[in-house]
Amino acid sequence: MDASLYLPIFEALGHETRLKVFMSIYQSGKAGVRPKEIIEQFGVDSGTLDFHLKKLLAVGLIVLKFGCQRGIYCPNENIPPELALLLDSSLTGNSLLMTNPGSITLPPVEQLH
């Protein structure tokens, strides 16, 4: 596995507001979230939200389903399994990486040039 494949995902999640928006969408599961609900939850304006949603769509973390005027955003079912495991552990309050670091097999670290 090439670890550089995850760089765009971690870059997208490196912004606090975008991470909060993504976690809200991720927690919603297949039901998804309307933009209006995200705006109300986090108090962001529609332009800011649109910017963050486009970034999350571009890296494939979320998908847009239609069902209301501006659509419903859902987590992509093809999120890398290692990332889904990490996200699920943070939602359940388990500190997966701290309590049992041997339970995750990470790819070998490539030498930096």
Residue 43's CATH number: 1.10.10.10
Q: Taking 50 as the threshold, does the pLDDT of residue 96 lie above it?
A: no
Structural domain includes residue 101: no
State the residue range of the domain holding 14. Answer: 3-78
24 within domain boundaries: yes
- Residue 99 placed within a domain: no
Task: Say how many domains are in the chain.
Answer: 1
Quick check: is 91 in a domain?
A: no
- The whole-angstrom separation of Cα 74 and Cα 27 is 9
**Do residues 61 and 12 touch, judged by C-beta distance below 8 A?**
yes
Q: Is 110 part of a structural domain of the chain?
A: no
Band (pLDDT 50/70/90 cuts) for residue 90 is confident
Say if 43 falls within a structural domain: yes
In-domain check, residue 18? yes
- Residue 84 predicted with pLDDT over 90: no
Quote the pLDDT of residue 35. Answer: 94
pLDDT of residue 110: 53
pLDDT per residue over 12-30, tens digit each? Answer: 999 999 999 999 999 999 9
Band of residue 93 on the pLDDT scale cut at 50, 70, 90: low
Q: Is 52 part of any domain? A: yes
Q: What is the pLDDT of residues 33-79, one digit of tens each?
A: 999 999 999 999 999 999 999 999 999 999 999 766 678 999 999 88
Whether 1 shows a pLDDT value over 60: the answer reads no
DSSP for 84-98, please give it.
HHHHHHHHTT--HHH
